[in-house]
């Protein structure tokens, strides 16, 4: 575990080509100063050698299911990340993948759990969750949140292969936030489940998590898409932002819960806009996910379908990058 202040960037490195899969929709007011390196160094590679890739998976609740097609794209190209960094749902997806599950495995698990059109209890609950979560979430009122994530953590514990970060097949960085110090906290060693529990502790929905003498909340409050933790250590850094978009309700008046959760999402947008002014990943992918609320995992088919164009774009850019690396190496001979 490392505090943000302990994680200082190295010197800026020279780069030959960057790829950006930029989409519209970033909005907000810049509020933070974000030091980070910008670019990857040119390194000699053998012909046909795949690039070392750093993968950052962002926060966004149910929209995080859109990470699955991006992981499938890597599998289809035979690319295995050198290191993964994730926040909130991105941390969960990253750990599952880093433990050895494929993108296809994760799609099957998610469809088994969330693919349903049935409603839950009606009213406020039906607006924030999907049927598949009923078995995983319990009321948590009184502990600082509406829901208790214990069932979710137990489900993940059974799916991942290993208890500690050191047992993962791919190195993983999980981002949370120190509630009292207002600092980023990065977990990359020790137990996985407590780190995930902290990283996904959405304020108002889940209670803060006490762990290692800290009170921790959702990492999206400080770093929604933690690509800055990976810059300068891989040939190419890919950041997946699944924050999505919303269209206004007919009456223009959001519900109580929509107000809370959407305000949290506005904050994330503001952080990302400011962060991208100061540094950028080599590939920035933002699937066009529209009108999915924070906990509407039962919209899985809609989310996966909307993510397909971004998957195709990511594959095309990675294929072009691999071809350029091979061509560059051939010219050196």
For the residues of 245-305, what is the DSSP string, one character each? B-PPPTTS---HHHHHHHHHHHHHHHHHHHHHHH---SEEE----BS--TT-GGGHHHHHH
Catalytic pick among 52, 88, 199, 243: 88
- Give SS3 for 218: strand
What is residue 98's DSSP assignment? Answer: H
Diameter over CA atoms, the chain: 67
Q: Would you state the torsion angle of the CA atoms of residues 262, 266, 267, 269, taken in this order, to the nearest 10 degrees?
A: 130
Distance from C-alpha of 4 to C-alpha of 156, rounded to nearest angstrom:
27
> Is-contact 10 306, C-beta < 8 A?
no
| Residue 115: exposure state from Cβ atoms within 10 A (0-12, 13-18, ≥19) | middle
Bridge partner residues of 147 (DSSP): 139, 206
Structural tokens at position 283: 């590939």
What is residue 164's DSSP assignment? Answer: B
> Is-contact 92 275, C-beta < 8 A?
no
The residues near 305 (Cβ < 8 Å, ≥ 6 apart) are none
Structural tokens at position 123: 């009213």
- Give SS3 for 240: strand
Structural tokens at position 226: 């933690």
Catalytic pick among 52, 99, 178, 218: 218
| Catalytic residue check, 218 | yes
| Catalytic residue check, 88 | yes
**Catalytic residue numbers, as ranges:** 88, 218
């Amino acid at each position: 575990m490392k505090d943000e202040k302990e994680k200082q960037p190295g010197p800026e490195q020279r780069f030959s080509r960057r790829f950006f899969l930029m989409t519209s929709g970033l909005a907000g007011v810049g509020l933070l100063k974000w030091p980070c390196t910008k670019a990857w160094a040119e390194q000699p590679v053998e012909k046909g050698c795949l690039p070392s890739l750093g993968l950052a998976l962002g926060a966004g609740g149910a929209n995080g299911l859109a990470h699955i097609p991006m992981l499938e794209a890597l599998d289809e190209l035979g690319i295995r990340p050198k290191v993964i960094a994730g926040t909130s749902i991105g941390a969960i997806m990253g750990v599952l993948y880093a433990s050895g599950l494929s993108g296809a495995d994760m799609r099957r698990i998610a469809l088994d759990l969330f693919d349903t059109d049935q409603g839950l209890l009606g009213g406020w609950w039906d607006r924030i969750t999907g049927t598949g979560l009923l078995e995983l979430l319990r009321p948590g009122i009184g502990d600082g949140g509406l829901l208790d994530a214990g069932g979710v953590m137990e489900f993940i514990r059974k799916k991942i292969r290993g208890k500690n970060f050191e047992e993962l097949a791919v190195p993983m960085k999980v981002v949370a936030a120190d509630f009292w110090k207002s600092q980023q906290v990065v977990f990359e060693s020790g137990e996985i489940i407590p780190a995930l529990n902290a990283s996904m502790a959405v304020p108002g929905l889940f209670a803060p998590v006490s762990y290692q003498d800290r009170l921790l909340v959702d990492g999206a409050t400080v770093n929604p898409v933690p690509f800055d933790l990976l810059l300068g250590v891989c040939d190419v850094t890919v950041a997946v932002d699944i924050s999505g978009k919303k269209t206004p309700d007919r009456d223009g008046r959001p519900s109580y819960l929509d107000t809370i959760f959407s305000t949290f999402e506005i904050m994330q947008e503001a952080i990302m806009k400011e962060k991208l002014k100061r540094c950028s990943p080599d590939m920035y992918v933002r699937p066009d996910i529209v009108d999915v609320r924070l906990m509407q995992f039962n919209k899985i088919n809609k989310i996966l379908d909307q993510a397909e164009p971004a998957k195709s774009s990511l594959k095309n850019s990675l294929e072009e990058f691999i071809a350029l690396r091979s061509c560059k190496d051939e010219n050196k001979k």
